[in-house]
Amino acid sequence: GENVEQHPSTLSVQEGDSAVIKCTYSDSASNYFPWYKQELGKGPQLIIDIRSNVGEKKDQRIAVTLNKTAKHFSLHITETQPEDSAVYFCAAVTGGFKTIFGAGTRLFVKA
C-alpha cells in the first residue's frame, strides 16, 4: 500500500542552526505535499505545502523541495528558534482527498 517514510524521528539543533527533515513517498500518483507542525495538545497546523509541478517553495525561514523522480521531498528550517520545537509531519496526498502522513519528526531547538 501507499506509505510515506520520514527521517529523522528525532532532531536536536542549536538555536540559529538549520534543520532538515526528509520524506520519501511510494505512490507516484501523489500530487500534493503538505507539511504540518503539531504542538502539544493541539491539532497539526499546515506550515508549508508544495504541488507536484513545483520543485521548490520558500516562506520566510521555511522551505520545501520536491524531487518527483526520486519521490523525495524535504523541509528546511533556517535560523531555528526555540518556538520551532514541535513535531513535524510530512504528508503525500493522492487523488485530492487521501492523505498519507509520515511518522513525524520531533524537533528540539536548544537555546
Partner 1 sequence: KAGVTQTPRYLIKTRGQQVTLSCSPISGHRSVSWYQQTPGQGLQFLFEYFSETQRNKGNFPGRFSGRQFSNSRSEMNVSTLELGDSALYLCASSRSNPGQGAEAFFGQGTRLTVV
Residues that bind partner 1 (CB under 8 A): 1, 31-32, 34, 36, 41-46, 49, 51, 89, 93-104
Q: Which is nearer to partner 1, 15 or 59 (CB)?
A: 59
Burial class of 77 by CB neighbour count within 10 A (0 to 12, 13 to 18, 19+) = buried
Smallest gap from residue 104 Cβ to partner 1 (A): 6
Instruction: Sheet containing 4-7: give its strands across.
Output: 4-7, 19-25, 72-77, 62-67, 56-59
Smallest gap from residue 6 Cβ to partner 1 (A): 9
Q: Which is nearer to partner 1, 2 or 15 (CB)?
A: 2
The conformation of residue 55, written as its DSSP 8-state character, comes to S
